[in-house]
Amino acid sequence: MSSDVRKAVTGASIGNAVEWFDFAIYGFLATFIAANFFPSGDETAALLNTFAIFAAAFFMRPLGGFVFGPLGDRIGRQRVLAVVILLMSGATVAIGLLPTYASIGVTAPLLLLFLRCLQGFSAGGEYGGGAVYLAEFASDKRRGVTITYMAWSGVLGFLLGSVTVTLLQAMLPADAMESYGWRIPFLIAGPLGLVGLYIRLRLDDTPQFAELSRNQQVAKSPLAALREAVTGSWRSILQVIGLFIVFNVGYYVVFTFLPTYFIKTLGFTKTNAFVSITLASVAALVLILPFAALSDRIGRKPMLIAGSVAFVVLGYPLFLLLNSGSLIGAIAAHCGLAAIESIYVSVAVSAGVELFATRVRYSGFSVGYNICVAGFGGTTPYIVTWLTAETQNSLAPAFYLIVAAVVSLTTVLTLRETAARPLPQTGHRREAAALQ
């Protein structure tokens, strides 16, 4: 890996880990947020409301993708990545300073909703921008593993969020944690965000975007870039949406929903849930990059097919093991689901980014990815919690996961193989010519 690529990986990964630390701690603190921002009396309703606000932030992500993606194709990837981490961290710190329902009534959850939506808006420019940034620095032969540092650093951010919350719970009495301790992880976002911002401000823009800019081939405006992406690459955008359905459902089941499921449904302790999510996250961190490197050798499609088929075949048995009553069995099942998710996650981002031409890569991928996240990412904890409660069937999440895997598998079969091939430089000729 050259020094330029290492610098790009460091900047994108550290910033992304900070962003996803910010985004993840909300899920890990869901029970405390429910207690502080909603009326007492019905714990299930409060938890569902908390997850509803979690999901609402994701509905802002397409808007963020529609704004930041075209902006990145117009003014450059590096500048937009600096802006989004500043917005995310600022909103996270503000959540840590919010008054509770007991202090200001219904205004408290409304302010929480606003700040979560601001987080979602900024996140709409983060993941796609970081993936595109790495893709345009990477060599053709190692592009898969280079881009996948985005997925790897996202899991790292989730793990750091889990560790931070659990250490606080171990150090503080229960009443102190519920009173003020839950605020601390949100306030930590301030200095972490400044570190990420400092790193990103020192990055150069990608060689491919710099060449487009020198040749005056970038779109005349963000709106022109968006129009070109939607009209010229609509099929690729639809493929990204389908490709990322099981990516998102699996990701938020494994890393956001299951810690709460361990406590509320399986009856294990918070310590048990922490051990399980930590081991599952470590399993993913160990597996993601080797799987990505393998995709550079054997192709993206075989890995994507393997991951989606594994969810279809093993999703239900692993949920049976989760519900076996054995803590060891439940942790093993959690790690098994994380391993399957790792197969898919290690390849999906690369496969999606590689579908788009340089002029519209940030716009096209961000729009498709964030539409999918809005529909199938942030909604997943709410939907599976609701399904479990309504059906009184603790295995209901497995069926949702299996259906998602079938839809994504169908999409994967429509993709062309892109591993080890040059990134496309031009897209729809008519729109490109009109906008130059």
* pLDDT in 10s for each residue of the chain, 436 residues: 777 888 889 888 887 888 778 777 887 787 788 888 887 766 777 777 777 787 777 788 899 999 999 999 999 999 999 999 889 888 889 999 999 888 898 888 889 889 988 988 998 898 899 999 999 999 999 999 999 999 999 899 888 988 888 888 889 998 899 889 999 999 988 888 888 888 888 888 888 888 888 888 888 889 989 999 999 999 999 999 999 999 999 998 998 889 889 988 899 988 898 899 899 999 999 999 999 999 999 999 999 999 999 999 999 999 999 999 999 999 999 999 999 999 999 999 999 999 999 999 999 999 999 999 888 987 888 889 889 888 889 999 999 999 999 999 999 999 999 998 999 876 544 334 333 3
Q: Where are the alpha helices (DSSP H) in 172-221?
A: 174-176, 183-201, 207-214
Compute the distance between CA of residue 295 and CA of residue 301 in angstroms, rounded to an integer: 8
DSSP codes joined into one string, 3-39:
HHHHHHHHHHHHHHHHHHHHHHHHHHTHHHHHHHHS-
Contacts of 364 (CB under 8 A, 6+ apart): 69, 229, 233, 236, 237, 240, 355, 356
Dihedral sign, Cα of residue 312, residue 314, residue 318, residue 321: positive
- Tell me the two tokens of residue 383: 């939907």
C-alpha 305: how far from chain center: 21
- Tell me the two tokens of residue 183: 């605020």
pLDDT for the residue numbered 75: 92
Q: 197 vs 19, 82, 151, 191, 371, CA distance in Å?
A: 11, 6, 19, 10, 26
Long-range contact list for 40-44, CB < 8 A, 24+ apart?
44/389
